[in-house]
Chain A
Amino acid sequence: SQTIHQWPATLVQPVGSPLSLECTVEGTSNPNLYWYRQAAGRGLQLLFYSVGIGQISSEVPQNLSASRPQDRQFILSSKKLLLSDSGFYLCAWSEQGISEAFFGQGTRLTVV
């Protein structure tokens, strides 16, 4: 069966520090991968999605970037964090051509 792993679960980072969040999927090949951000426990905003290695599409302009160095690995990064980057970050995956999307357990990022 397929599983999605996301880490770390919580992270406290100072303003101006770099960020790297990682997400991996097991049990499938060539999945669609997504990064969402959720503010204040409500509303999921799509940040990035990827349909293949090295293929990244950005949905909103921001201080973040994403990369997909391997088929089932998706990384969310920032060179310098802002206070406004605080939030709950969720990775998700779906199979190509299949509707269902499944989420990881999320990373709570607090920028101080």
Chain B
Amino acid sequence: GENVEQHPSTLSVQEGDSAVIKCTYSDSASNYFPWYKQELGKGPQLIIDIRSNVGEKKDQRIAVTLNKTAKHFSLHITETQPEDSAVYFCAAKNAGGTSYGKLTFGQGTILTVHP
């Protein structure tokens, strides 16, 4: 089955700096890679995703890049703000076949943005 590794487990930055979180996956059949943000005591919220037919996607201050050859993808947050502080999860999925849309998650990154 799919295995997703996420690094770092914790990340501390100053407000205004950039933050980068990296994930690797094992199943070359995976073709959908979402990122979730989870605030304390709440459910994860989908913030951005990328499909295997593109290499980069950007939405305001966040961007995701994908390297299919190396089987890794990254989340980039620019101009970080204290409200970006949360736990971030990457995930991978084979959106076709018989996987029924099951997501495999990384272990999460605790991002702290200091004012």
Enumerate chain A interface residues (CB-CB to B < 8 A). 6, 32, 34, 41-44, 46, 49, 51, 57, 59, 90, 94, 98-106, 108
A101 x B105 contact (CB < 8 A): no
A42 x B87 contact (CB < 8 A): yes
Q: A49-B102, A90-B43 are in contact. List 14 more A-B contacts (CB 8 A).
A: A34-B102, A41-B87, A42-B107, A43-B107, A44-B105, A49-B101, A98-B101, A100-B46, A100-B49, A101-B101, A103-B44, A103-B45, A106-B42, A106-B43
* CB pairs A–B below 8 angstroms (8 shown): A41-B108, A44-B105, A99-B49, A101-B46, A103-B43, A105-B42, A106-B43, A108-B41
* B residues 29-54 in Cβ contact with A at 8 Å: 32, 34, 36, 38, 40-46, 49, 51
Enumerate chain B interface residues (CB-CB to A < 8 A). 32, 34, 36, 38, 40-46, 49, 51, 87, 89, 93, 95, 100-105, 107-108
For A51, the chain B residues whose CB sits under 8 A away are 100
B107 x A32 contact (CB < 8 A): no
For A34, the chain B residues whose CB sits under 8 A away are 102
* Majority DSSP secondary structure for residues of A touching B: strand
A32 x B42 contact (CB < 8 A): no
Tell me which of A41, A57, A103 contacts B100 (CB under 8 A). A57
For B46, the chain A residues whose CB sits under 8 A away are 100-102
B34 x A101 contact (CB < 8 A): yes
Identify the closest chain A residue to B89 (Cβ). A44
Identify the closest chain B residue to A42 (Cβ). B108
Identify the closest chain A residue to B95 (Cβ). A99
Identify the closest chain A residue to B36 (Cβ). A103
B107 to chain A, nearest CB (A): 5
B43 to chain A, nearest CB (A): 4
A32 x B101 contact (CB < 8 A): yes
B56 to chain A, nearest CB (A): 18
A46 x B42 contact (CB < 8 A): no
A94 to chain B, nearest CB (A): 5
